Amino acid sequence: MASPDEPAAGAILYVVATPIGNPADLSPRAIETLRTADLIACEDTRRTGALLAAHAIRRPLLSYFEHNEERRIPEIIARLKAGARVALVTDAGTPGISDPGFRLVRAVHREALRVVAVPGPSAVAAALSIAGIPTDRFVFEGFLPSRPRARRSALEALGAERRTIVIYEAARRLGETLAQMAMAFGADREAAVIREMTKTYEETARGTLGELAARYADGRALGEVTVVVAGAPGEARAAGRGAIEVEMLVEAGLSLKDASALVARLEGRSRREIYQQALRGRTRHD
């Protein structure tokens, strides 16, 4: 028998990936893990219950989501220390990817308890695999900030990103987001919109950000959406960084001219070039 300070032999947190749409994508290993778990911690007990029912699995469920995680983490750790095998799932995809699952995983590690991955579906990997955009290096941004100022700052910061960019977006905001990306990154930047992956009405639309913004301007997109955007060309990196630095200095109290002059000296570029670039950026967002 384990001492009070040692975990029981069977204590394992399984991080189980579940389908992002098609129930048939649940792997045999994931099915067996869920079938033999003592407890399944899930984002929405109704959705997970439906998935389990589709595979004839009946196990105890415990809700675990962003607004109850502080209360649930000690409960789950106590169950693990008692020797339970706990499976962590999210509504769709891999737990911890753009959801609070990582906090539980971190807490379990801190208690020196075992964490095991049961890999499978991920909207990020699936979207990259079919977007037709370079995948050797990429950055995942999750959902962009909802507040306009924070959203604009996030896009400005990403404008110079050389790696492929992957984001999640709500269908109702897709047209607006694509238009904002076209302004921040350039309307000719290559991108892909992947909607309803693995479901009956799956759709992949490719084109420039300008073309995609026009296509979805009327807000007709439905379902879950992942956007993949090509990284910035080499010359855009320095230009985008300069505009961001100017805006930061202006927010700190400098005039636009003084901020442009300072950034120009630091980067060894023309003050006029920096100043005109900053003006163009402001015009796009007015």
The rounded distance, in Å, linking the Cα atoms of 207 and 190 is 6
The rounded distance, in Å, linking the Cα atoms of 168 and 185 is 17
Which amino acid would we find at residue 136?
Answer: D
Q: Is residue 2 part of a domain?
A: no
Task: Report the SS3 class of residue 156.
Answer: helix
The rounded distance, in Å, linking the Cα atoms of 97 and 275 is 39
The rounded distance, in Å, linking the Cα atoms of 195 and 204 is 6
pTM greater than 0.85: no
213 and 112 fall within a common domain: no
136 and 207 fall within a common domain: yes
The confidence score (pLDDT) of residue 279 equals: 73
* Final residue of a structural domain among 194, 214, 232: 232
Neighbours of 11 (CB within 10 A): 23
43 and 93 fall within a common domain: yes
Short-list 235, 238, 247, CA closest to 266? 238
Which residues fall within 8 angstroms of residue 3, CB to CB, at 6 or more apart? none
113 and 134 fall within a common domain: no
Which structure tokens are listed for 201?
A: 């009405």
Cβ 7 vs Cβ 80: under 8 Å? yes
Give how many domains the chain has, as a whole number.
3
* Final residue of a structural domain among 99, 121, 143: 121
179 and 278 fall within a common domain: no
148 and 159 fall within a common domain: yes
* Final residue of a structural domain among 76, 106, 121: 121
The rounded distance, in Å, linking the Cα atoms of 154 and 144 is 7
The confidence score (pLDDT) of residue 29 equals: 97
241 and 207 fall within a common domain: no
Cβ 256 vs Cβ 278: under 8 Å? yes
Q: What is the CATH number of the domain that holds 193?
A: 3.30.950.10
Cβ 191 vs Cβ 244: under 8 Å? no
141 and 158 fall within a common domain: yes
Q: Is residue 7 part of a domain?
A: no
The confidence score (pLDDT) of residue 9 equals: 60
49 and 104 fall within a common domain: yes
171 and 223 fall within a common domain: yes
The confidence score (pLDDT) of residue 1 equals: 44
109 and 135 fall within a common domain: no
- Residue 190 domain boundaries: 124-232
Q: Is residue 225 part of a domain?
A: yes
Q: What is the CATH number of the domain that holds 72?
A: 3.40.1010.10
Q: What are the average pLDDT values for consecutive 10-residue runs of the chain, which has 286 residues?
A: 53 96 94 97 95 95 92 96 96 90 95 96 96 95 89 87 95 92 91 96 95 88 93 66 72 82 75 74 54
Which structure tokens are listed for 263?
A: 């950034």
Which amino acid would we find at residue 203?
Answer: E
67 and 153 fall within a common domain: no
Q: Is residue 23 part of a domain?
A: yes
H runs (alpha helix) in the chain:
28-36, 45-54, 69-81, 101-110, 123-131, 148-158, 174-185, 209-215, 234-251, 256-267, 271-285
The confidence score (pLDDT) of residue 8 equals: 58
The rounded distance, in Å, linking the Cα atoms of 263 and 199 is 49
